[in-house]
Each structure stands twice: as structure tokens, then as C-alpha cells.
Structure 1
Amino acid sequence: MQIRTATSADLAAVVQIEAECFPAAEAATELSLARRLALYPNHFWVLMDGKQLVGFVNGMATDEPDLRDEMYDDAALHNENGAWQMIFGVDTIPAYRRRGCAAMLLEHVIAEARRQGRKGLVLTCKDRLVHYYAKFGFVSEGISGSTHGDVTWYQMRLTF
């Protein structure tokens, strides 16, 4: 398995994986994913098994300490020198789940954020995943202000 930054050629695969991983109300649109790939491809990491894209993590950098819903669709809010690495999604295709793929991606992204001199990382997740992200050092800050997809989200922060 290999992790690399995404390219525009990965768009069709990431759109398909996003649709497999999230309900329609929560999934990023093709347009949103295309903008992310265009404006901050070095913050979009894909996991490859040979030539097959099996998972990805993406998000923007910002000086804002909290993940806001506007960040998902407005790629222009990205600040390459931002203090915080936001994570919008941790996606793994169903056939590769429970094999350490998400962990491999997260560990890579955490190491990249540390190498880039960020203060840390922020993500939101559903209640059932709070314990999973805690294993990587993320701390729950409680219910997020996010109403993305009309779901209750918990904000998690990993501070270096």
C-alpha cells in the first residue's frame, strides 16, 4: 500500500468512494471534491493498493480553530500557512475496512501536519467514532456547531 497526494485524475474514484462512505446528505459533491483537488491537492491524500484507490483523507488548512460547515464547500477558505489542518473526511471502500487502512492514512496525515508546523488537526465525527479518533490522540470537544447533513457531529482536536 502506498499513500500519495491526489491529482485531478483521481476525481472519479474519490467521488465514487465518497458516495460509498457517506449518505447523500453528508457526502461531498463532485464539484466540491474537484475544487478541493484543484485548490489544495497537497492536503488530499489517497491510499493506493497497486493501481486501485482504496481510501482517502482530505481537508484544508486554516487559522480558524473550529471546523465550520462553510469550509466543506468553499475551498477558497484554505490558507496554505494556516495553523490547523482540518479533516473533512476519512474514507475507505467497504472491502478494505477493518484492515488498518484508515489508521494508515490518519497516521500519515498527522505526521504531515506535524512536519508542516501546524498546531494540530481538527475533525468532526459521529458519536460512535469518538473513541476511534481518540486512539490517535484526538480529544472530543463535545457537540460541534456543524449541522452538515442534518446530523449531530462531535468536534475532535489533536493538538501538538
Structure 2
Amino acid sequence: MILREARSSDLGQIIALEQACFPPEQAASPSALKERIERFGPYFLVAEKGGTIVGMINGMPTNETDLCDEMYEGALLYDPAGGHIMIFGVDTLPAFEHQGIASMLMEAYIKSARKDGRKSIVLTCRKRLIGFYEQFGFVCEGISGSEHGNVVWYQMRIVTG
């Protein structure tokens, strides 16, 4: 398993992975994924096995302290020197779930945020995933203000610096 930064040549596989993991109303658009690969560099990681992208984690640095819906479709609030990282998605191909791929990606992300001197990492998740993120030190802050995909999201945060 190789963890690395996403490349523009990965776009087709990344779009397919996103569509396999999220329903259409929650999945990032192809154009949003393309922009994230191009702009967010070390904050778009993929897990590759035998030439196939089997997992990914992506987000962006910002000075905002909470994740808001405006962040999902564009880089308006992106700041490469921002103190906080907002995670937009942690995806694993269904055939590769429960093999530790998401955990490896999350650990690499946390390590990178600490190395870069970021203050915190913020994400939103469905209620059933709260325990998964708690094992990395994330704390649930309650129901998020996000209405992305018309579902209830819970905001979680880990202090990294």
C-alpha cells in the first residue's frame, strides 16, 4: 500500500471512488475534486494498491474554525497558511473496507497537520462514524450547521497544535 499526494492523472479513479462511497447528493462533483487535487496538494492523499486508488482523504487549510457548506464546492475560504484543516471526505472502495486503509490515511493526515503547525483538524460525519474518529482523538462537538446532502452531520475536531 502506497500513500501519496493525489495527481491530476488520478482524477478518473478519484471520481469513481467518490461516487462509490457517497450518494449523488453528498458526493463531491468532478469539478470540485479536480480543483481540490490542483489546489490542496499535501491535503489530498490517496492510498494506492497495485496501481488502483483504493482510498483517499481530502481537505483544505483555512483560517475558519468550523466546516461550512461553502467549502465543499470551491476554494473561496482556502488559505495555504491557515491554522485549521477541514476534511471533506475519507473514502475507501467498498471492496477494501475494514482493512485499515481509512485509519492509515487519517494517521498520515494528523501527522502532516502537526508537522505543518496547524491548530486543529475539523470534519463532519454521520452519527454511526463518531466512534471511528474518536479513536484518533477527535471530539464530537454536536450537530454541525452543515446541511450538505440534506442529512444530519456531526462536527468533530482534534487539536493538533
Q: TM-score over 0.5 for the alignment?
A: yes
The 1-side partners of 2:67 and 2:16 are apart by 24
What one-letter code is carried by the residue in structure 1 that aligns with 2:49?
D
Please name the residue that 1:145 is paired with: 145
Gaps of 5+ in 1: none
The 1-side partners of 2:77 and 2:66 are apart by 13
Is structure 2 residue 53 aligned with structure 1 residue 53?
A: yes
CA-to-aligned-CA distance 1:82-106 (integer Å, 9 cap, x gap): 0011100000001110000000000
Instruction: Give the superposition deviation at 1:41.
Output: 2.3
Is structure 2 residue 16 aligned with structure 1 residue 16?
A: yes
What one-letter code is carried by the residue in structure 1 that aligns with 2:78?
H
What one-letter code is carried by the residue in structure 1 that aligns with 2:136?
F
What one-letter code is carried by the residue in structure 2 that aligns with 1:81?
A
% same residue: 49
CA-to-aligned-CA distance 1:88-146 (integer Å, 9 cap, x gap): 00000011100000000000000000000000200000001011100000000000000
Is structure 2 residue 35 aligned with structure 1 residue 27?
A: no
Gaps of 5+ in 2: none
Please name the residue that 1:159 is paired with: 159
Is structure 2 residue 1 aligned with structure 1 residue 4?
A: no
The 1-side partners of 2:32 and 2:106 are apart by 21
Kept after mapping to 2: 8 A contact 1:39/1:76: no
The 2-side partners of 1:107 and 1:50 are apart by 21
CA RMSD of aligned residues (A): 0.7
Instruction: Give the superposition deviation at 1:50.
Output: 2.4
What one-letter code is carried by the residue in structure 1 that aligns with 2:76?
A
The 2-side partners of 1:49 and 1:84 are apart by 30
What one-letter code is carried by the residue in structure 2 that aligns with 1:3?
L
Moved over 2 A (4+): none
The 2-side partners of 1:15 and 1:75 are apart by 18
